[in-house]
Amino acid sequence: MTRLQLAVAVAVAPGPPGPCSTSTAVRRPPRHISRSRGLHRGAMSVVAAVSSTHPSATADGSPPQMATTRLERGSLLVGGRELLSQCPPEATLRAGVADAAPGAAFLGARAAAPSSRHVFSLGTIPKGWRWLSLFKLKIWWMAPKTGADTAGVPAETQMLLLEKTGNGVEDTVYALMLPVLDGDFRASLQGSPENELQFCFESGDPDVQTMDAVDAVFVNSGDNPFKLMKESIKILSKIKGTFSHIESKETPANLDWFGWCTWDAFYKAVNPVGIEEGLQSLREGGAPPRFLIIDDGWQQIVNEFKEVDGALLEETVFAERLVDLKENDKFRGEACKNLGDLVKKIKETHGVKYVYAWHALLGYWGGVCTSSDVMEKYNPKLVYPVQSPGDVANLRDVAMDSLEKYGVGIIDPEKIYEFYNDQHSYLSSVGVDGVKVDVQNVMETLGHGFGGRVALTRKYQHALEESIARNFKGNNLICCMSHSSDHIYSALKSAVARASEDFMPREPTLQTLHIANVAFNSLLLGEIFIPDWDMFQSKHETAEFHGAARALSGGGVYVSDKPGVHDFNVLKKLVLPDGSILRARYAGRPTRDCLFNDPVMDGKSLLKIWNLNNLSAAVGVFNCQGAGNWTWLVEEISHVPTAVNITGHLSPSDVESLEEITGDEWNGETAVYAFNSCSLSRLQKHQSLELSLVTMTCEIYTISPIQVYGGAVRFAPLGLLNMFNSGGALDSITGTVDSSATTVQIKCRGPGRFGAYSSARPALCRVDAHEVEFSHSDDGLLAFDLSDGPSHSSVRNIEILYTAS
């Protein structure tokens, strides 16, 4: 977990040339030189080096087609449009990499001499395109940026989505550029002061060198940005084989249950008594956590510097190191005999189903103590991180500055699986069900002498995943501070990853940024992980804003409330009495019309986030303007929040893939229910309604396709009207018709206030075979209560009967 102090960042003053403006590296006798990794890849080895005067050909030598990506006469063409102009002769294209996607290709380049780090130009983005970048704002985390000029593409860009509109929506083309891992090297994109799009290609080890970047930047195009992203990640996962698409991963079971994390409640002062108090107060208030994260503060660590000079204590807090695998003295005493005693007690007393424990990828922030008797078996040694120019191009990080100065106790890569297995087998033996693993991106700074950043990261990540699989019953791992592509494209099994910088309760100007950040980052992360939008606090002044967003995230919902400090009016919009949540189907992402707008700082754009449920869709509309800016510099928070009222539009067409939940005979009509205003509208798919929101307010719309039953009754279930994600409660719907009646049968979770659109007033409504009172208003809103049902199940069987007139 990133501490509050991690928010303290120092801006690096820009100066010519750019952060990655030179391909010159310190030349040492290379231990490993890869001249053409593509030559070792069988059918994937065809490289078309294309100059500005020679058109490219496909892999089989046939003439390029309009649907393919082509590099000819100094231009890169995608979908029939020029994506890059003035491409240099050293640029290469390997097309035809996927039969099902003729536009998929890899860009690369060839240097004059081998080096561990190159910067290659790809050309210039012509006018008419606008782009969305997901870039590493600081070493741990990505953030979004939008623009149109090539020079504005930030350093450390890991996804570049571009749009070019034509005469109509049908003529719009989207292009995707993903700098990826190529052998032992990692690529990233950046703009230059000369208005060139460049890619930086680096190994992180001066002894690991190459001349060739063969498969450095993946390129694809299409007419739907969400399908394009999904298709591209699936193609990449098959080609590279080093990571997996989220659809092929096991989903941790805890995600469907409400959780509580100890971090913002206690920080490192977490203790057994406080944990029990927090669980009890939440349970007694009607929001019982079934999932607990015991965050930083339970381990045995040492600060080896404070005894030398007490003034160093604050500076060295991030250099503290792990000395033992077992819990510290706080968890061995009168309150509990040991960690196992505590875990057993909270599961039996408070009904907690899943307990996770926190640790860093290297054990602790500063790694392990190299003089510890317990750690000796893992051959640890002290090393000093070296950040690449890209790591410090945007924001420096105080934790990395500390680690650079005081070093990291790194475990021998050949012993890392043994370390993880020992740690996790102990935790499993005392009843812990999984782990949250933090500080993961530090590996990219430790590659020197270990074969480079990519090789080292992959070694650790795969060892971690194997240990999780061996020691825990499910795929119970949360990856955190892990937004480097080294990690993203090495995640074979990891299914959950934090989506952004922490929720920071003490920083008022970071609240709206958090919502925008997690939504945009989920465009990329959501195809490889289930994004974790982080905890929040239910009694915080922005709790409704955060809670509504978490309901649409598609990931876990958990809070970090202090014991006894809760707002159950907020929590009960997220959590059912049995502790379950209404989790949506996919990762929440911005709607298509928001992708290239700035919802935080342009003063005019609302942020819309869409998702799907079993029978309906949800769109959350958030006003993130006027409350902060994208600098994320805590020392510059002199910004005074301004209330800005913004008007926008909501349409069923904002929901992508709505056809997944509609029948073949659907005529495009929907019922649209607004959560806060409790208003119901009927809209055709391409119709819209107008709404206005002031800063830091939101509205959630449930959008349910209207179906016709019995030839006369138009009906659309909405779900639990008292929940943020109303439609998440709906399981299934069927209809039966006979000569005397039409019956709509629904399975819906409860308890709560059930709602639906019904064009006619029903004769009666039943819940679990018992007739209930209902209301039916002029706008078609049918509503009735679902009371508490059998203790073993939250699902209610609903029957709505219409008699023939």
Render pLDDT for 760-799 as a digit per residue (tens, 0 to 9).
Answer: 999 999 999 999 999 999 999 999 999 886 666 789 999 9
Distance between CA atoms of 122 and 190, rounded to whole angstroms? Answer: 10
pLDDT at 313: 72
pLDDT at 2: 39
User: What is the pLDDT averaged over residues 78-89?
Assistant: 94
Distance between CA atoms of 94 and 110, rounded to whole angstroms? Answer: 13
% of the chain surpassing 90 pLDDT = 82
DSSP type of residue 403: H
Distance between CA atoms of 97 and 134, rounded to whole angstroms? Answer: 24
% of the chain surpassing 70 pLDDT = 88
pLDDT at 42: 30
Say yes or no to pLDDT of 706 above 60.
yes
> Burial code of 397-420, b = ≥16 C-beta within 10 A, e = fewer?
bbbbbbbbebbbbbbebebbbbbb
pLDDT at 383: 97
**3-class secondary-structure state, position 437:** strand
The pLDDT tens digits for 630-669 are: 864 444 545 566 889 999 999 999 999 999 999 888 999 9
Pairing of strands 129-138, 181-182: unpaired
Average pLDDT, the chain: 90
pLDDT at 29: 38
Say yes or no to pLDDT of 502 above 70.
yes
pLDDT at 310: 59
User: What is the pLDDT averaged over residues 54-59?
Assistant: 35
Say yes or no to pLDDT of 27 above 80.
no
User: What is the pLDDT averaged over residues 92-99?
Assistant: 90
Question: Quick one: pLDDT band at residue 327, thresholds 50, 70, 90?
Answer: very high
pLDDT at 311: 57
Question: Quick one: pLDDT band at residue 6, thresholds 50, 70, 90?
Answer: very low
With 0-12 CB in 10 A as exposed, 13-18 as middle and 19+ as buried, what is 568? middle
Q: Among 478, 388, 406, 468, which residue's Cα sits nearest to residue 440? A: 478
The pLDDT tens digits for 240-251 are: 999 999 999 999
Say yes or no to pLDDT of 328 above 80.
yes
Q: Are 509 and 617 in contact (CB under 8 A)?
A: no
Say yes or no to pLDDT of 805 above 80.
no
User: What is the pLDDT averaged over residues 578-606?
Assistant: 97
Beta bridge partners of 173: 164
DSSP string, 195-233: S-EEEEEE-SSTTEEEEEEEEEEEEEEES-HHHHHHHHH
Higher-pLDDT residue of 48 and 782 is 782
DSSP type of residue 486: H
Say yes or no to pLDDT of 48 above 70.
no
Contacts of 458 (CB under 8 A, 6+ apart): 242, 486, 490
